[in-house]
Amino acid sequence: MDGKFMDGKFMDGKALAKQVRERTAAEVAEFTARTGRRPGLATVLVGDDPASAVYVASKRKQCVAAGMTDHHRLLPATASQDEVAEVLTELAADPEVSGILLQLPLPAGLDAGALVQLIPAAKDVDGLTTLSAGLLAQGRPGLRPCTPSGVIELLDAHDVPLEGANAVVIGRSELVGKPVAQLLLQRNATVTICHSRTRDLAEVCRRADVVVAAAGRAGLVQGDWVKEGAVVVDVGIHRTDAGLVGDVDTAAAAERAALITPVPGGVGPMTIAMLLHNTLVAARAQFDAQFDAQFDAQFDAGADAGTGAG
Amino acid sequence: MDGKFMDGKFMDGKALAKQVRERTAAEVAEFTARTGRRPGLATVLVGDDPASAVYVASKRKQCVAAGMTDHHRLLPATASQDEVAEVLTELAADPEVSGILLQLPLPAGLDAGALVQLIPAAKDVDGLTTLSAGLLAQGRPGLRPCTPSGVIELLDAHDVPLEGANAVVIGRSELVGKPVAQLLLQRNATVTICHSRTRDLAEVCRRADVVVAAAGRAGLVQGDWVKEGAVVVDVGIHRTDAGLVGDVDTAAAAERAALITPVPGGVGPMTIAMLLHNTLVAARAQFDAQFDAQFDAQFDAGADAGTGAG
């Protein structure tokens, strides 16, 4: 570990996210020079939830800063299921749009699950559709959810050995817990998935070489749940009277952990960085698929001409 | 536990499979009486591998015995990718076919992964397509792989408490290990997935209330890896000089286990029983979807007539 993304034993997600964004921007420039195209991110925001508005604005800004095109759609909170569906279907067909992000949560009355499924897997830069979940479960190429990818990126940047490691994931959400467990399994960790029904969570946690806390409960993981020398990744973020806190009692856990993410400034900043990365990956795959199709068509035409067959 | 599916501490998969088949046959009769249709299973066999031929014959026989229609397609070992694809596409469109099973393994030279994806999720009675894997990962309704479903059916038939139980799955195949882990998680077990890179597998195993051995290694799980009173499900089956054996040293493990599956006669017989069950579930869902579509069409027609709108 070179300490580049560390402040003492704290993993610096802000610095690493900056590096991922810069790397992505350089790769975007290379892609654009090679293909004459720019990756494009479409953000769909329904209603006027202030937190969502801030978050979407940040995604758009970083996307433009990385050299991508910005395709934003704002719908009123009163938009019907059909109206949102129509926008998503349009964006799915738009060749300028590499990735589609439907900002959640949606206003009450809209069926988010059904709307997310309208995003084709090839443009599912949030990795939330059922097909993307299947590609992840089966270890096939596809777009992975951003926060879980950010967790792995953080661990990799700090050379945390995952092969054979005992990894404990606390929480089993579709967005974080389940996909992060799949990604850790693909890296050959022995993975235990814990949740609200787990008996003696402290004891399970104490056996972990790597803990990923994604339970959504402030300060759930106590300092003495952490094995000496373990690596702790805290995905939680909660606004409390004492300021922003995560799922882990960070100060106490840091006494024992070899490495730990701060809250804020740990996993949080990684999410948008991985979204930019996914948008580039999607643009590349779409370009390659189109190139392959054109090549096949030309090849077939050539073969036909050569043999004289219709 | 009423001992109906037990012989001492051995879980009797043969007896339970018979019960599932009989229950399915009764439900098929009810479905046919109500709808005028029979569920239909299409088995696709490519080549002349003797073991596959025996297995497919058994599936067809049990399907007919349960009151379902049999749609079998036999292709020569020399069949091309396109020829197999064409058969699958035809069956996908055939309204008489509720479920499609592509018998694996396929002869060398065919891309099984690509062919399996041609089966629509609604007819994927083996639960092997990427979309089915995504439906399972996201906990949405869908067809689940047969062997993992059979494992859960066996545990349920013996009233094994899964909520909060420490479940250890050994093996992470797409067919068994990964889906059985998902199903145990849905039943609120704390699930640990182990594999060839797991350090000190014996120790992990000794903490398990429920062990599912699906590693594909004869006699891997030793007797002293089993906690006193644990439940052991052995998915392995290997032909050895000493006869058929599983992934578990059954005799030694039975000294400590509260319940254990024999090999053969444990998980094995459950697989085809769950295939029949899946075919019925698929037929019901297809009928309901068609009914809903017809209802919607009539309703729309009525609404149009009422308002006079075009």
Residue A1 resides in a domain: no
pLDDT at A1: 43
Residue A222 resides in a domain: yes
pLDDT at B309: 38
Residue A150 resides in a domain: yes
A178 vs B: CB within 8 A: yes
Rounded Cα distance between A302 and A291, Å, is 16
Does B36 carry a binding-site annotation? no
- Nearest CB among B130, B174, B193 relative to A191 is that of B193
Residue B51 resides in a domain: yes
Residues of chain A with Cβ-Cβ distance to B138 below 8 Å are 130, 133, 174
pLDDT band at residue A228, thresholds of 50, 70 and 90?
very high
Q: In chain B, whose CA is at the least distance from the CA of A138? A: B174
Q: Does A105 share its domain with A199?
A: no
A170 vs B: CB within 8 A: no
Return the DSSP state at B2.
-
Query: Do A198 and B164 meet the contact criterion of CB atoms below 8 Å apart?
Result: yes
Residues lower than pLDDT 50 in chain B = 1-2, 304-310
B112 vs A: CB within 8 A: no
Residues of chain B with Cβ-Cβ distance to A194 below 8 Å are 190
pLDDT at B290: 84
How far from the centroid of its chain's Cα atoms is residue A310's Cα? 48
Q: For position A183, which CATH number holds?
A: 3.40.50.720
Rounded Cα distance between B26 and B48, Å, is 34
pLDDT at B305: 47
Residue A89 resides in a domain: yes
Peptide bond into A262 cis (omega under 30): no
- Has residue A176 got a pLDDT over 60? yes
Q: Does A156 share its domain with A100?
A: no
Q: Does B150 share its domain with B100?
A: no
Q: Does A67 share its domain with A114?
A: yes
- Has residue A2 got a pLDDT over 60? no
Q: Is the model more confident about A310 or about A26?
A: A26
CA distances, A291 to each of A297, A298, B104 (Å)? 10, 10, 33
Q: Strand B99-102 and strand A99-102: pairing?
A: unpaired
Residues of chain B with Cβ-Cβ distance to A206 below 8 Å are none
- Has residue A296 got a pLDDT over 80? no
Rounded Cα distance between A90 and B298, Å, is 29
Rounded Cα distance between A126 and A24, Å, is 17
Does B119 carry a binding-site annotation? no
- The number of distinct structural domains making up chain A is 2
Q: Does A98 share its domain with A180?
A: no
A134 vs B: CB within 8 A: yes
Residue A103 designated active-site = yes
Q: What ipTM was predicted for this assembly?
A: 0.92
Tokens of B27: 């439900």
Task: Suggest the residue from B130, B180, B199, B204 to mutate for an interface test with chain A (most A CBs closer than 10 A).
Answer: B130
Q: Minimum mean pLDDT among A214-223, A286-295, B214-223: which range?
A: A286-295
B80 vs A: CB within 8 A: no
Backbone angles phi, psi at B94, to 5 degrees: -80, 115
Give residue B192's domain range: 146-268
Q: Does A150 share its domain with A251?
A: yes
Residues of chain A with Cβ-Cβ distance to B188 below 8 Å are 195, 197
Q: For position A43, which CATH number holds?
A: 3.40.50.10860
CB-based contacts of A147, cutoff 8 Å, min separation 6: A175, A176, A180, A235, A267, A270, A271, A274
Tokens of A90: 């349009």
CB-based contacts of B31, cutoff 8 Å, min separation 6: B37, B39, B280, B283, B284, B287
Q: In chain B, whose CA is at the least distance from the CA of A207? A: B204
- Nearest CB among B135, B174, B191 relative to A138 is that of B174
Closest CA to A130 of A143, A149, A148, A147: A143
pLDDT at A301: 65
pLDDT band at residue A290, thresholds of 50, 70 and 90?
confident
Query: Do B15 and B156 meet the contact criterion of CB atoms below 8 Å apart?
Result: no
**Annotated catalytic sites of B, by residue?**
59, 103, 126
Q: Does A53 share its domain with A116?
A: yes
A76 vs B: CB within 8 A: no
Rounded Cα distance between A198 and B162, Å, is 11
Q: Do A133 and B138 touch (CB under 8 A)?
A: yes
What value does the mean pLDDT take over residues A126-148?
Answer: 96
Closest CA to A217 of A171, A168, A173, A267: A171
Residue A186 resides in a domain: yes
Per residue in A77-110, pLDDT tens? 999 999 999 999 999 999 999 999 999 999 999 9
Q: Does A47 share its domain with A89?
A: yes
pLDDT above 70 covers what percent of chain A?
95
The sign one gets for the Cα dihedral A221, A223, A224, A226 is: positive
pLDDT band at residue A4, thresholds of 50, 70 and 90?
low
Mean pLDDT of chain A: 94
pLDDT at B310: 35
Residue A59 designated active-site = yes
Q: Does B157 share its domain with B257?
A: yes
Q: Does A101 share its domain with A150?
A: no
B285 vs A: CB within 8 A: no
Query: Do A74 and A16 meet the contact criterion of CB atoms below 8 Å apart?
Result: no
Rounded Cα distance between A155 and A16, Å, is 11
What value does the mean pLDDT take over residues A204-223?
Answer: 98
Mean pLDDT of chain B: 94
Residue B93 resides in a domain: yes
Q: Does B158 share its domain with B235?
A: yes
Query: Do A118 and A234 meet the contact criterion of CB atoms below 8 Å apart?
Result: no
Residue A284 resides in a domain: no
Q: Does A185 share its domain with A114?
A: no
